[in-house]
Chain A
Amino acid sequence: MGEDALRERPDEASATLPAPVLVRLPAHLIVLFPGAERLVSLHAGCVADMMDELDARWPGMRERLCDETPAIRRHINVFVDGRRARLSTPLAPGADVFVITAISGG
């Protein structure tokens, strides 16, 4: 999707669907899924739905971001409109979502 996600699409503007959510994914997640892109536009009512949608596009992506608690993985942060979110956090139409890896390593 890439840059296209930032442009308003005539077909989406005229449809009844609410504005899509814009999701930014970390680079070292993207490399695990051939064809995946950093900037994704999708429709989802909450963060859990967003994970489902990502997993539908790139099977296995939900398991990289969520554990079986179920919860967002401990060292993954999801920010919705600037606030740290959980799987149950609702996504308003047009929400800005950042998926970020915590600082870690050695």
Chain B
Amino acid sequence: MGKQVFLLVGTRKGAFILASDASRRSWEVRGPFCETWPTNHVVADPASGTVYAGGGNEWFGPAVWKSTDFGLSWTHSSQGLAYEAGQQPVKAVWSLAAGEDGSLYAGVEPAGLFRSTDGGESWTHVDGLQKHPTRPEWNPGGAGLILHSLVLDPADRNRIWVGISAAGVFATENGGESWETRNRGTRADYMPEGQNYPEFGQCVHCLVKAPGEGTRLYQQNHCGMYRSDDGGRRWESIETGLPSSFGFPAAAHPRDPDSLYLIPLNGDIKGRFMPEGNTAVWRTRDAGRSWQALRAGLPQGGAYFNVLRQAMATDTMEPAGVYFGTNAGGLYASIDEGESWDCVAPHLPTITSVETLVIER
């Protein structure tokens, strides 16, 4: 018996799975899967080991793919993954999350939330979110009106946070029946002066939950990085000490609620690539009060790529692994909490998401 570590990678041209033993020093690359469909998010249910991949194909629409054998075989379904007749059709699945009660959630474009209680075979619209009074005023971000961040609370199955571009963060405490905005303290620099802290309409880029029983959240926004210690009711800026306030992904440490990883880019109107072409992952170990650039083994000079909103993750190993994939197709891994890095797959298609799964074999 030993541990096996999987990296679940979504790309513009299918899903990939990388597999390693507990050393995490040698990775076998499997894929492309899902018939090379554009795949926005690949996750695993840690209880069962089932892998789910969500995406959408320009011809054939949205689907959630499923593999119970770590990628050897796949099925797909979108039964029920649709709004009512006459609504704008669901274009793609953007985010997936497996709950501890066996439920599976999917966030889609145009922004909405679906739940499956049969392992992704069929879906039901969680329509309370669409009934939120702000819904008619939601505006799409650059990637469309997408529900891209989907955070479940392991301690309370009825509590869910979602991030919608560019409507902001919403939360439910009753399993999706009703929702409230959770954007207080986050900026919208693109709004007129004096209207920069609206109730909704913020361009959230990525929302993650800190480990443990609390409700601490971290957020990478189009306009800043934030921490909330009360489930998103109030956000505090943590961008001081970072090279910019703009980036896409965020990844929480698996055990330390004070540790967070971000990848700030050079700004939203300057190309959106690594600052000065030098790659760095930035880490805080004090909940955002101070930051350290992690560069060892990462490309320095000429790195004109970015890292998309779901393309960074940590694993549950000790020490924790940190992984990110670039829009240029490079997949980077650190097995020492970010101190040093290796490129483990240099030439994948554009990487949209990275997640991890650790199992006992």
Contacts and interface: CB of A to CB of B under 8 A. Distances in A.
Given A32-B60, A101-B59, A104-B58, A69 B35 contact: no
A104 B59 contact: yes
B233 interface: no
A68 B59 contact: no
Interface residues of A, number: 20
A73 B81 CA distance: 15
Given A32-B35, A60-B76, A69 B86 contact: yes
A28 interface: yes
Interface residues of B, number: 19
Nearest to A61: B60
Contacts of B82: 63, 67-68
Interface in A71-106: 73, 75-76, 101-102, 104-105
Given A60-B76, A68-B90, A29 B85 contact: no
Given A63-B61, A75-B59, A69 B79 contact: no
Contact of B61 (A31, A67, A101): A67
A69 B58 contact: no
Interface string B230-263: 0000000000000000000000000000000000
B101 interface: no
Contacts of B175: none
Contacts of B86: 69
Interface in B60-94: 60-61, 63, 76-79, 81-87, 89-90
Nearest to A59: B79
A64 interface: yes
B58 A68 contact: no
Given A31-B35, A32-B76, A69-B89, A64 B60 contact: yes
B78 A73 contact: no
B61 A28 contact: no
A67 B60 CA distance: 9
Interface in B97-139: none
A65 interface: yes
A85 B58 CA distance: 19
Contact of A60 (B35, B59, B77, B89): B77
Contacts of A69: 85-86, 89
A70 interface: yes
A75 B89 contact: no
Interface string A9-40: 00000000000000000001101100000000
Given A28-B35, A68-B85, A73 B59 contact: yes
Contact of A29 (B60, B63, B90): B60
Nearest to B34: A32
Contacts of A64: 59-61, 63, 78
A63 B89 contact: no
A36 to B, nearest CB: 13
B78 A75 contact: no
Nearest to B62: A63
B63 to A, nearest CB: 8
B93 to A, nearest CB: 13
Nearest to A65: B60
Nearest to B35: A31
A68 B83 contact: yes
Nearest to B80: A63
Give 4 closest A-B pairs by Cβ, nearest first.
A67-B89, A68-B82, A64-B60, A101-B59
28 contacts: A28-B59, A29-B59, A32-B35, A32-B60, A32-B76, A60-B76, A60-B79, A63-B78, A64-B60, A64-B61, A67-B61, A67-B82, A67-B90, A68-B84, A68-B85, A68-B89, A69-B85, A69-B86, A69-B89, A70-B85, A73-B59, A73-B61, A75-B58, A75-B59, A76-B59, A76-B60, A104-B59, A105-B58
